[in-house]
Copies of this chain bind each other. A is one copy, B any other.
């Protein structure tokens, strides 16, 4: 018998006397460390995140207590190789029925000792499956058991006293409880700014109040149009004073706007759901992204515009570089992120010291006006940010105006090209155009990928927001070897998607933005029905401007070379030996916005990354949902001009640089030389 087995038996014996002293307290929820990631991504400060292993141990006990208290309707089972947990369960269970579970080959000594002293049910389980299925499981096991805090690790270490090994976890928690300061809570994961607040849509009370708010949302009449010419005139007159507001003050205004966006979360979600037809989940993300943009650009403004950058040079001369606003910026945004893209463009232009004429999409004017209202509440003067509603003609007049000193645009490639041409045809200076356009985005899945993970991410990437994101997946390249299983799962997942009213919390896919868009998509689907193999489609049980998410299998040369802006997935099988052809095909589209890769082989990932000319690449996750400052967003080639929104190079493009050189020796001498010698 090995030393650690002897120790295990000793612990069991010792615990027998201790069992009654084990204290149990209910801790809310049951989560493991992986939850930290999700909570951070959701930005929820009150999400029950365990930053200490001891808290997880307590939670285990609390959950056990809950399960056992429902033992009449549930058959509780407890998987553990930890003798303290075993003792605790025995104590909590009393006479109630339950079973233990242990992994085949582990904890043998512990359970032998247990069987010797007490009649208890124990199921022995063993993972069974192919290498590909087992790999992630084994890696996680290695990580867990290798950790210093692991029971399996500690029991084998004679330096750890038995008392410590079986100590009451509650007693090990700090009193009063504070999270481990080494693991930042969701609100604090960024070094330079607050993370945005989320909304926990898994909570019944939150859902209820959101639902009431949406139901009460009556879309007011579209805001009245204002005269473009005089709006630009006022913005021009306001530029001088706004550009001289210190950057720190402009930043503070943007941070107030971020706070207001969070405070008005429910109102904004309701408006986005109603005017934009987006689901609640999408709408919450949008409000968060808008707040993130405000805080990120506020930080960047302080950093780059807050003070001059001193440049090294010869003695007797002071050289500084400063960034300044350019003038009136036109911000033209789309309907698919009616709040966040609108707000992001305006925040960037303001942060850099420009005044703004912002034109929301004609489908979603109310949200644009609401955003500008929030900026004004936060302290942006009236004529520094103005919203003008209207169609493409209003946009055309806007960019053709010689007083417009720069344009930020997100939308179709065709419109971006028209704007660029209009700007080039204007008399006067050459002004910047920052354009984010479309993509023909693919995900490449190799045979080592985990099909379940792949399909989860495909469903999110291709069908969330009804595929109406520029980042959305249009094409799935899947290795022929694993294609049958992956496509079977895709078909199954499609069958489960709920297409419906975005106000309903269980809706996965909302409507298409307008009838012409829907008709174009339906024509595309009809064409595919005639020429491609149907993989699966979602049920469509609702009347209105909806289409059913759908997937087809096509040959490489049948794949679309332009953006199909809806929930239609084009699947193409490939052989590993033909990967080069696939990569070349993607490059030949000329687009370069997003790319997904699913693989557990690093060299495969590297090969694809090296060949890609794509702005945002995502490995082993979905390819949508770029977070401000974390995944700066924007493509290359036909997909956009750069610089990336929510990235460190964005603000300088809204600015002009000035150098100031002062001959400090002109007044009579080089004083710094005297102070140095």
Contacts and interface: CB of A to CB of B under 8 A. Distances in A.
A478 interface: no
| Max chain B Cβ within 10 angstroms of own Cβ: one of A616, A632, A666 | A666
Q: Give the residue among A313, A420, A432 with the most B Cβ atoms within 10 A.
A: A313
How many copies of this chain does the complex contain?
2
Contacts of A648: 309, 321
A613 B657 CA distance: 10
B638 A659 contact: no
Interface residues of A, number: 108
A258 B7 CA distance: 70
Interface stretch (A66-74, A138-146, A548-556): A138-146
Contact of A629 (B141, B311, B433, B652): B311
Nearest to A309: B648
Contacts of A183: 315, 673, 676-677
Contacts of A658: 612, 614-617, 636
A40 interface: yes
A304 to B, nearest CB: 9
A610 interface: yes
B139 A619 contact: no
Interface in A610-648: 610, 612-621, 626-627, 629-634, 636-638, 641-644, 647-648
A428 B182 contact: no
B638 A429 contact: yes
A106 interface: no
A663 interface: yes
Contacts of A163: none
Interface in A132-187: 135-144, 146-147, 149, 180, 182-183
A677 B182 CA distance: 8
A294 interface: no
A361 interface: no
Interface stretch (A31-39, A196-204, A530-538, A571-579): A31-39
Contact of A34 (B617, B618, B632, B665): B665
Given A313-B627, A665-B37, A669-B140, A643 B652 contact: yes
9 contacts: A36-B315, A40-B314, A51-B677, A147-B677, A312-B630, A612-B658, A614-B658, A619-B663, A621-B666
Q: Which 6 A-B pairs have the closest CB atoms?
A: A139-B668, A140-B668, A40-B314, A424-B424, A620-B666, A621-B663
Given A190-B312, A615-B658, A632-B657, 18 more contacts: A33-B674, A37-B316, A53-B677, A139-B668, A140-B669, A143-B674, A144-B674, A189-B314, A319-B631, A423-B424, A424-B424, A429-B590, A600-B666, A615-B659, A617-B659, A619-B661, A621-B663, A631-B661
